[in-house]
Amino acid sequence: AQSVAQPEDQVNVAEGNPLTVKCTYSVSGNPYLFWYVQYPNRGLQFLLKYITGDNLVKGSYGFEAEFNKSQTSFHLKKPSALVSDSALYFCAVRDLYSGAGSYQLTFGKGTKLSVIP
Amino acid sequence: EPEVTQTPSHQVTQMGQEVILRCVPISNHLYFYWYRQILGQKVEFLVSFYNNEISEKSEIFDDQFSVERPDGSNFTLKIRSTKLEDSAMYFCASSESGGYNEQFFGPGTRLTVL
C-alpha cells in the first residue's frame, strides 16, 4: 500500500521569503513522486515530479523539490515566495512496483499556502 | 496548451437519480482516470481506463459506477443511482502513458446530491 502525509494544513510565509511545503511518503518499492497545485475553482496543475536520478528536481514557476530516500520525504521549496503562489498544494505518490497496469496516484490531504504581502 | 476539459462544472441531482459526468482528455493521451474529492478530504482514485477497458479500480468504484469512452474524444463517468455520500468534486485526468508520465487534471465537476 502507498500513502502520503502532508503534516501541515496551512503554511504562512511572507512575500520574498523562502517557502517549504512538507511531504513524506510510504511505498513498498521505489516511488514516483509528484507535486500538484490547485488554485480556487481550478483543477490540479502539475508542478514537478521525481522519477529517478538527481534528488533535486526543478519544476514550473520556480518551484523545486528535494527527494530524500532515507527520510522518505519530498519537500516542495521555492527560494522567494510570491503572493500569486497562494494556493492549495498536493503531494502524490505512485509505487513503481505496484503492478502492471496500476497507475493510480495516492494524494496527501493538501497544504494551504498563504503568502502574505 | 492542450488541457483536459470537463462538463458540467456543477451538477445538482436528487438521490437515486443517474448522472453522467463528461470529460474530454488531451487528444494524444492514452490513459484516462477519474478521481474524486469529498469536501475537506483527500483526492481519491476511482478508476483508470486504457485500451477501452478498465485497468484498475478502487474499492469506491462499485457496481453503481461505470466508465465509457463512447467516441474518440469523450470519457464519461456514470453513477447509476446517486447517494448523498456521492456528493464530491470529480476530477478527470489523462496521461500519455501509464508509466512515469504525469497525469493532467481537468477543472472538476462538483456533484451535489440532495
**Residue B70 confidence (pLDDT):** 87
**Does the pLDDT of residue B1 top 70, yes or no?**
yes
**Minimum Cα–Cα distance from B31: chain A residue:** A103
More confident residue, B109 or A54: B109
Report cis status (omega within 30 of 0) of the bond before B8.
yes
Q: Average pLDDT of chain A? A: 92
**Chain B residues inside the 8 Å CB shell of A107:** 42-44
- Partner residue opposite A49 with nearest CB, options B44, B56, B102: B102
Band of pLDDT at residue A98, cut at 50, 70 and 90 = low
pLDDT in tens, A11-65: 999 999 999 999 999 988 888 999 999 988 788 999 999 998 889 999 999 999 9
3-state helix, strand, coil in chain A (%, to 5): 5, 50, 45
Judged against a pLDDT cut of 70, whether residue A101 lies above it is answered with no
Q: How far is CA B108 from the centre of its chain?
A: 8
Cell numbers placing B65? 459506477
Considering only the beta carbons, identify the residue of A105, A109, A110 that sits closest to B45. Answer: A105
What secondary structure does DSSP assign to A1-54, as a single string? --EEE---SEEEEETTS-EEE--EEE-SSPEEEEEEEE-TT--EEEEEEE-SS-
SS3 B45: strand
